[in-house]
Amino acid sequence: MSAEPTMQITRNSLDTGAGSSDWFTGSVFVDAITAPSGDWRIGAASVHFTPGARTAWHTHPHGQTIWVTEGVGLCGREGGPAEVIRPGDRVFFEPGEKHWHGASPTRFMTHIAMQQADDEGSVVTWGEHVSDAEYRAAAETGG
């Protein structure tokens, strides 16, 4: 008789972390879901943005999918227009595509961010902050 597979439950023992001011503008909070380790290459987190909060410009070696779970947000890619994102929306950023995402000026926004690590274990390369002027322009044209 073979052993039946067992369900694995990982109880949440991690506290919500504040997003680093090196990577975010405004108040952002991160709940880790999974991190690359050993042969597991997927990183995922639930990211909570307060109104006006946003990521810095960044890229992902294998791209990134974000899935909006609540609120209203904005996202943009270098050279493209800003887009309004709402619950249920999924956004895929191509590998190496310079982009940002965050809350609209007047609403909270939460999304699940999912990305795959490269051979060195990196899931993201951070760039400069989205300026207040860039964000205002995105908010005016995107939403």
Tell me: the pLDDT tens digits for 81-122? 999 999 999 999 999 999 999 999 999 999 999 999 999 999
Domain ranges of the chain: 18-142
Q: Rounded to an integer, what distance in angstroms lies between the CA atom of residue 132 and that of residue 4?
A: 55
The residue type found at 55 is: T
Q: Rounded to an integer, what distance in angstroms lies between the CA atom of residue 131 and that of residue 54?
A: 10
> Regarding predicted confidence, which is higher, 10 or 55?
55
pLDDT band at 127 (very low <50, low <70, confident <90, very high): very high
CB-count burial class (<10 Å; 0-12, 13-18, 19+) for 5? exposed
Judged against a pLDDT cut of 80, whether residue 76 lies above it is answered with: yes
Judged against a pLDDT cut of 60, whether residue 1 lies above it is answered with: no
Q: Rounded to an integer, what distance in angstroms lies between the CA atom of residue 91 and that of residue 17?
A: 24
**pLDDT at residue 4, as a whole number:** 80
CB-count burial class (<10 Å; 0-12, 13-18, 19+) for 93? buried
Extract the tokens encoding 28: 């952002």
Judged against a pLDDT cut of 70, whether residue 68 lies above it is answered with: yes
Extract the tokens encoding 94: 């191509």
Nearest to 33 by CA among 53, 5, 62, 10: 10
Any idea which architecture 18-142 has in CATH?
Answer: Sandwich (2.60)
Judged against a pLDDT cut of 80, whether residue 3 lies above it is answered with: no
